[in-house]
């Protein structure tokens, strides 16, 4: 399945679901018109509360990523890809800016910040080999 939840993640579970699905769509793993799992099925599979899944689906519907087909379920909307693709970048960019501003706000110099970034990027690569 294209969705997996990390209970340790501070991100709310429903938000994790929303992001994972958007990622799968941006990715091409899930295509427009495809049916997504029912609330009950996904809840059972992830061993979480159906309310949580329902909320995620509600958010996705509100954002026009999926739409209800009467008697059938929720399908990925046409054009969803085009909205998920850039969003991914926008989200990360916002997070980056937030962290950078916090760093500056707490008195860390640009040079220090760059050093930290380089360091963390390095660790990321090493991790990539065999996680």
Instruction: Kindly list the residues in this chain that would bind DNA in the complex (CB under 7 A).
Output: 12-15, 36, 38-41, 48-52, 54-55, 57-58, 61, 68, 70-74
Question: Contacting a copy of itself (CB under 8 A), which of 1, 64, 89, 109?
Answer: 89
What phi and psi values does residue 66 have, to the nearest 5 degrees? Answer: -125, 160
Q: How many residues does the chain have?
A: 131
Question: Contacting a copy of itself (CB under 8 A), which of 13, 46, 65, 76?
Answer: 13
Is-contact 21 61, C-beta < 8 A?
Answer: no
Tell which phi-psi region holds residue 33, choosing left (phi > 0), alpha (psi between -120 and 50) or beta: left
54 binds, among DNA, a copy of itself, none (CB under 5 to 8 A by kind): DNA
Residues 6+ apart with CB under 8 A from 76: 25, 30, 31, 32, 33, 34, 36, 65, 66
Three-state SS at 74: strand
124 part of the interface to a copy of itself, by CB under 8 A: yes
Is-contact 12 50, C-beta < 8 A?
Answer: no
56 part of the interface to a copy of itself, by CB under 8 A: no
Which residue lies nearer to DNA by CB, 50 or 113? 50
> What is the nearest approach in angstroms of a copy of itself to the Cβ of residue 91?
8
Contact residues: a copy of itself, CB under 8 A = 7, 12-13, 19, 23, 26-27, 49, 59, 62, 69-71, 88-89, 91-93, 95-97, 99-104, 106-108, 110, 112-114, 116-117, 119-121, 123-125, 128
């Amino acid at each position: 399945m294209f969705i997996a939840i990390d209970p340790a993640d501070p991100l709310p579970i429903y938000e994790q679901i929303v992001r994972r699905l958007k990622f799968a769509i941006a990715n091409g793993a899930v295509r427009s018109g495809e049916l997504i799992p029912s609330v009950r099925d996904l809840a059972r599979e992830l061993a979480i509360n159906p309310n949580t899944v329902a909320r995620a689906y509600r958010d996705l519907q509100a954002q026009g990523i999926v739409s209800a087909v009467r008697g059938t379920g929720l399908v990925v909307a046409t054009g969803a890809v085009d909205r998920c693709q850039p969003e991914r970048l926008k989200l990360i960019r916002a997070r980056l800016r937030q962290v950078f501003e916090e760093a500056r706000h707490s008195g860390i110099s640009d040079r220090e910040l760059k050093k930290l970034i380089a360091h963390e990027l390095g660790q990321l690569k090493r991790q990539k080999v065999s996680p």
